[in-house]
Chain A
Amino acid sequence: MTELASVLAAFYNATQCEAGVWMRLGALDAAPTLEAGTANAPTPSRYPVPAEGAQIVASSDGDVLIAAVPGPRHAWVALGPCLRTDVQLQDFMNFLLPVVTQYLQSALEVEHAANELAERYEEINLLYTISEILGRTVSLDEAAKTILKEVSETVGARRASVLVHDRATNTLQAVAALGVDLASVQPISVDDPCSVSARVFRTQHPMLAEGNEHYCPEESSYRRGAMLSIPIMWTAPPPHGAEPLGVVNLSDRRSGHMFSAGDQKLIAAIATQIGTAIQNTRLVRASVDQQRLAHEMQLAHDLQMKLLPNNTIVAPDAIVAARVVPAESVGGDFYNLFRLGGAKTGVMIGDVSGHGYQAALIMALTMSAAAIHSQTNLDPGDMLHSLFTTLRDELTTTEMFISAFYAVIDPVAQELRYSNTGHPHAFLLSEEHGLERLAASDPPLGMDESRPLTTHRPWRPGKDLLVLFTDGVSDARNRDGERLGEERILNVLREHRHSTPDEILGRAFEVLESHTEGAPRRDDLTIVLVRT
């Protein structure tokens, strides 16, 4: 009030009259204090109400003229005593009172503006703080807790909670709470008819429940008196639109005042920030899960490749050339080789329906079970049936099946015995008959309960070639989507029948690669060639 003091000092210089502006702050019966005054401004003995107009009252230094200042403030202008005696104090009052009134009015407006500014500053500061919190953390619980603390301090709420929608249970669950133990907040069904939070979530509109209005016992932990409840929205790009993710509740206000439209606006802005945080957390989690899944797929793929046999384990009884080229994801192709004693060799090729982790597990199970059953079942049909019996439960529950071909080559007896359950591409390449298809006699394992048939063919050691490949080879597509076809592979075999299995395999893959020219594979490619 230094400006007011200057005005009064100038007044004294002009009039040689003392003058003071008195104000009562606080309680109505408190003694007013001197807000600004001349050097010897005396204390009046009485402060008249505005309706009385200017009054002469006594003071420590004699009579003074005092008048109340109109307006919301309890303020008075007191004039006198003066050095000169011929002055008209009322004239001076008529001049000075409007000046002081105007000054106090302006000061009040400035004060309001400053308060308003301070509030806005706090809100902006809060939004900055929240942005910073969200930028720093990917933990939703931690972010929600910190945000809640900041918001509650700004609006002066002693109880607050953030409830997030759990899709699996269709309930609202507390992820952060203030003024209440988080564990004590029970999940609330979205359909709950009484809960304010559930209603706000359903309607996607904010709600101010006053006093005990809409009181719900389930909400007693985070509500005391009036509660402001705001939906947490997340707006997805079109055509999805806005989606409610949860609710923010504030209650038990320190000042005892109602929540204002300004509070509602502020909390809605913050709820949007929390919504973004929830969505970010979900996306991060999904991305981490995706990475973990990709890693598991890689492990499954490595495992699958490691399970495939070393082709030399059946040497010198049999010469084997084989290659599995897996698709982008884990596929279900496999082959296996068994030494069966007496120079006999077991050869198996198979394809587990489907791709992915589950197919890889079934394949691993098949590989190990086949190793056991091949040693105890010399008849190929028996071996495949035993294999099916072992895998039946797995195949039934997963609705998968296995197309499999299993042959036992006996070079001493010069016989090839085989059983084929749904494997489409198995051939015997011989001098006498050229290429002969070793057709399936039964559908794939898992589709049918019957015992697969065993068939036999003559086998000429050193000459005949057992040719097995999977449908990934004949179905291999080029960039125009054209299939390679079985015949192209069979032609390579015919042409190079006198070469070693390794050389024939190399030729077959040359044809395959020149057809696909690096087009993405959608299935595993497996070729197995055996000569004894």
Chain B
Amino acid sequence: MSFSIKKDGEVVVVDVEGQLIVGNRQELKQKVLDELERGERKFLIDFSQTGYIDSSGLGVLVSLSKKIREQGGELRLANLNDDLKTLFELTKLDTLFQIADTRERALQSF
């Protein structure tokens, strides 16, 4: 379980490897907030290597989305697998996020 952060143009791209759960959510949150504090405003979280997100993980995504918006920034999600897509649809979380099928499309949408 780890997060790698890199810059693609103006966008901070975060890869979530493994799971996003109660045990590692604070790490993701802190990493993204650190970037936000440094002045970054465009964020993309890529879930292509993510198997599972628990409810605490979802909570952190919502909280990050709010905090980024408050600073005039944007958060996009990309590459949710079928299970995660269903989860977002069933819980109506898809209404709270801009979700793209691929990283490229997400990057173009900024």
Q: Which residues of A are at the interface with B, using a C-beta cutoff of 8 A? A: 332, 351, 353-355, 399-401, 403, 421-425, 439-444, 447-448, 471, 523
B56 surroundings in chain A (CB, below 8 A): 353-355
Stretch from B42-50, B73-81, B86-94, B100-108 at the A interface:
B86-94
Q: Which partner residue on chain B sits nearest A443 by CB separation?
A: B92
Please list the 5 inter-chain residue pairs (A to B) with the smallest Cβ-Cβ separation, ordered nearest first.
A424-B90, A353-B55, A422-B91, A440-B92, A443-B92
Given contacts A422-B91, A439-B90, A448-B96, contact A403 B55 (CB under 8 A): yes
Q: Which secondary structure characterizes the binding site on chain A?
A: loop
Query: Which DSSP category, helix, strand, loop or mixed, fits chain B's interface?
Result: helix
Contact with A along B53-79 (1 / 0, CB 8 A): 011101110110000000000000000
A332–B54 Cα distance when bound, in Å, is 12
Selected A-B contacts with CB under 8 Å, 5 pairs: A354-B55, A354-B56, A399-B59, A424-B90, A444-B93
Interface centre among B56, B90, B95 (most CB of A within 10 A): B90
Min Cβ gap A474→B in Å is 10
Measured CB to CB, the closest approach of chain A to B43, in angstroms, equals 18
- Rounded to whole angstroms, the CA-CA distance of A292 and B95 in the bound complex is 42
> Which has the most chain A C-beta neighbours within 10 Å: B55, B62, B93?
B55
Q: Is the pair A443, B63 in contact by a Cβ cutoff of 8 Å?
A: no
With A422-B92, A443-B93, A447-B96 given, can you name 8 additional A-B contacts, CB distance below 8 Å?
A: A354-B56, A354-B59, A399-B63, A403-B55, A440-B90, A443-B62, A443-B92, A444-B93
Rounded to whole Å, the gap between the CB of B14 and the closest CB of chain A is 18
Taking a contact as CB atoms closer than 8 A, the residue among B59, B87, B92, B96 that contacts A353 in the complex is B59
CA A403 – CA B55 in complex, angstroms?
9
Give the chain B neighbours of A421 by CB distance below 8 A.
92
Least Cβ–Cβ distance between A463 and chain B, in angstroms: 26
- Does B1 count as interface, using CB distance less than 8 angstroms? no
The answer to whether B93 touches A422, judged by C-beta atoms less than 8 angstroms apart, is yes
Which B residues touch A439, using CB under 8 A? 90
A424-B59 CB under 8 A given contacts A354-B22, A447-B96, A448-B96: no
A471 and B91 alpha carbons, distance in the complex (Å) = 11
Complex interface: chain A residues within 8 A of B60 (CB) = 399
